[in-house]
Amino acid sequence: MKDSAIWKIIPQLSNAPNTIPDHLGREVELNYLIRNHEEIVSIIEANIYLAEADETLLKMITAYIRHVAVYKALRTTKTYSLNPIDVEEPLPQGFLSQIETRLKQLQTEFDELVRPQI
């Protein structure tokens, strides 16, 4: 959700009219967006077993991890003319909503397990 609020202002990632200057966009990408993605991947890798992901969600998670790896590689090599989508590693469609749905399901299951029995 953090990324959703920011990527639209970065000229390398968006065609929106209200973007920040290129040099600032590059700094935001390297120091904020990529770090945020790295943190997310780290959390996923350490805790994926807890999600009990079905095949569809697992494919989306794998695609997301590939997307982040390509994004990081492009920016680390100072390649700003390409984005992951340009090299066929887009952010998976519906990834955030799938994660939110699964988290809500797990929370409901947890709440039922810890609810006092009467």
Give the predicted TM-score (pTM) of the model.
0.81
Rg, C-alpha atoms of the chain: 17
CA trace torsion 19, 23, 27, 30 (10° rounding): 90
Residue 53's pLDDT band, with cuts at 50, 70 and 90, is confident
For residues 33-40, give the mean pLDDT: 92
Dihedral over alpha carbons 70, 31, 22, 8 (to 10 degrees):
70
Give the start-to-end residue ranges of the domains of the chain.
2-114
* pLDDT of 90: 94
What is the average pLDDT across 64-87?
94
Sign of CA dihedral 9, 12, 16, 21: positive
pLDDT above 80 for 7: no
Tell me the average pLDDT of the chain. 87
pLDDT at 34: 92
